[in-house]
């Protein structure tokens, strides 16, 4: 993932030097969408873990198994 992002950032830098702003805007939008997707995935995982642990606490009279 890190290699992908660094490659895209290098292409973005090259595109800015060539004044090819249309392609760089699309690449920036793709990178942003990937990062937003990763953040949403992490958020869902954390939410599921917290919800699971909360239900375990409630079902064991406040004791964590």
Q: Over pLDDT 70: what percentage of the chain?
A: 72
Please tell me the pTM assigned to this model. Answer: 0.56
33 and 44 Cβ atoms separated by less than 8 Å = no
CB-facing half-sphere around the CA of 45: CA atoms within 13 A: 6
Which pLDDT band holds residue 11 (cuts at 50, 70, 90)? Answer: confident
Percent of the chain with pLDDT over 90: 31
Over residues 22-48, the pLDDT tens digits come to 667 788 889 999 999 999 999 999 999
């Amino acid at each position: 993932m890190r290699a992908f992002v660094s490659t895209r950032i290098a292409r973005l830098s090259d595109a800015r030097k060539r004044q090819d702003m249309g392609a760089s805007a699309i690449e920036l939008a793709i990178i942003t969408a990937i990062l937003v997707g990763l953040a949403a995935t992490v958020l869902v995982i954390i939410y599921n873990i917290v919800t699971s642990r909360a239900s375990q606490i409630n079902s064991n009279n406040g004791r964590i198994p």
